[in-house]
């Protein structure tokens, strides 16, 4: 690769990283300010699970909920996030606590129920308390805004952070957690 192309590529990465940091900071601030009014009942509707069934968030009442956003073809951040969720599942199991894990697709163009079903199977995430959801572009963007999950598309990649939100058993937002400096399970 010519030296000029390398410099241009490095500059593009630096600009993207700076933009990402600003967007992530802004998204986190917005979510903190709005968290008092966020509940499962007020989230956008129109979700389908990995069995192509309608999935209203109201079915989750009575359990604590861990919600994140990811996409099936991600190779870096999403696998790390899923690993943290698995750790949270293990901690909850050891405490005899029931949690529901909800993973909402960032990428409705490519993630559909069949893709999520294969994803779930290939990663052995077959427990009934794990829910893989997809929706339209509009409801995906609305959910991301309301819960502070900033993202954008660059080429064919979805740029995003690792983040989860926790809801209590009444469906009210309890906490929003960014990149784990320690395990997210500590917040349970």
Can you give the residue ranges of every domain in the chain? 3-187
**Residue-by-residue pLDDT tens, the chain, 188 positions:** 455 444 444 434 433 333 333 333 334 444 444 445 789 999 999 999 999 999 999 999 899 999 999 989 888 888 889 999 999 999 999 999 999 999 999 888 999 999 999 999 999 999 999 999 999 999 999 999 999 887 667 777 776 687 899 999 999 999 888 876 556 676 77
Q: Which CATH superfamily is domain 3-187 in?
A: Glutaredoxin (3.40.30.10)
Quick one: pLDDT at residue 34?
43
N-term to C-term CA, the chain:
48
Question: Which residues, listed in sequence order, are joined to residue 99 by a DSSP beta bridge?
Answer: 64
Would you state the structure tokens that stand for residue 20, as one six-digit string?
A: 């990402």
What is the CA angle 140-143-149, rounded to 5?
95
Beta strand pairing call for 164-167 and 64-70: antiparallel
Coil vs helix vs strand at 130: strand
The structure's pTM equals: 0.77
pLDDT at residue 36, as a whole number: 52
- State residue 82 phi and psi, 5-degree precision: -60, -40
Question: What are the C-alpha distances in Å from 9 to residues 1, 4, 15?
Answer: 10, 9, 10
Pair 111, 134: CB distance under 8 Å? yes
């Amino acid at each position: 690769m010519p030296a000029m192309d390398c410099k241009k590529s490095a500059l593009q990465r630096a600009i993207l990283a700076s933009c990402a940091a600003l967007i992530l900071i802004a998204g986190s601030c917005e979510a903190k300010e709005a968290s008092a009014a966020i509940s499962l009942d007020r989230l956008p509707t129109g979700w389908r699970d990995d069995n192509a069934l309608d999935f209203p968030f109201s079915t989750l009442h009575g359990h604590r909920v861990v919600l994140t956003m990811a996409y099936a073809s991600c190779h870096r951040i999403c696998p790390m996030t899923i690993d943290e969720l698995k750790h949270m599942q293990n901690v909850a199991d050891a405490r005899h606590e029931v949690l529901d894990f909800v993973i909402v697709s960032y990428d409705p163009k490519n993630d559909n129920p069949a893709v999520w079903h294969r994803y779930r199977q290939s990663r052995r995430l077959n427990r009934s308390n794990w829910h893989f959801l997809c929706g339209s572009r509009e409801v995906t963007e609305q959910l991301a805004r309301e819960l502070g999950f900033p993202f954008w598309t660059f080429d064919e990649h979805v740029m995003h952070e690792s983040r989860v939100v926790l809801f209590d058993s009444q469906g009210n937002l309890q906490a929003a957690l960014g990149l784990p400096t320690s395990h997210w399970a500590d917040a349970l």
